[in-house]
Amino acid sequence: MAKENYFKRLPRRKDEYFIPGGVKVPKPQELEIALRMFKRQLKEEGKLQELRDRRYFEKPSAKKRVEKDRAINMQQKEDRRRIERDKMFVLRFKDPNYIRPSRPKRKPRTFSR
């Protein structure tokens, strides 16, 4: 009796398939879209990264070192960005002939049929 309840099927419409991660596929033709959504969900939840991390045993001290190095790198990157932004800000006020660099122009879209 308990096994029957354990393997009970989820109710669904005839034209709808179900992937266990929580992505509903309305039509079989849209399977690629559903897979992309499923991968995005896994990435946001961190399931794939957790699987990769647990693939091999890593000592707690090594984990701490990796996390510390990652945090240091992120902080350095943020500092570089802040310095660059401050340079641009200072240049704008010091140099009266300063012209803000413009974005490169995008190519116009062409639709082929």
Q: What is 41-82 written as a DSSP string?
A: HHHHHTHHHHHHHTTS---HHHHHHHHHHHHHHHHHHHHHHH
Please, are residues 24 and 30 in contact by the beta-carbon 8 Å criterion? no
Structure tokens belonging to residue 75? 């902080």
Q: State residue 60's pLDDT score.
A: 93
74-86 pLDDT, tens digit each: 999 999 999 888 8
pLDDT at position 95 over 50: yes
pTM: 0.43
Please, are residues 18 and 25 in contact by the beta-carbon 8 Å criterion? yes
- Over pLDDT 70: what percentage of the chain? 71
Report the C-alpha gap between 31 and 67 in whole angstroms.
Answer: 37
The helix, strand and coil proportions of the chain, stated in percent and rounded to the nearest 5, come to 60, 5, 35
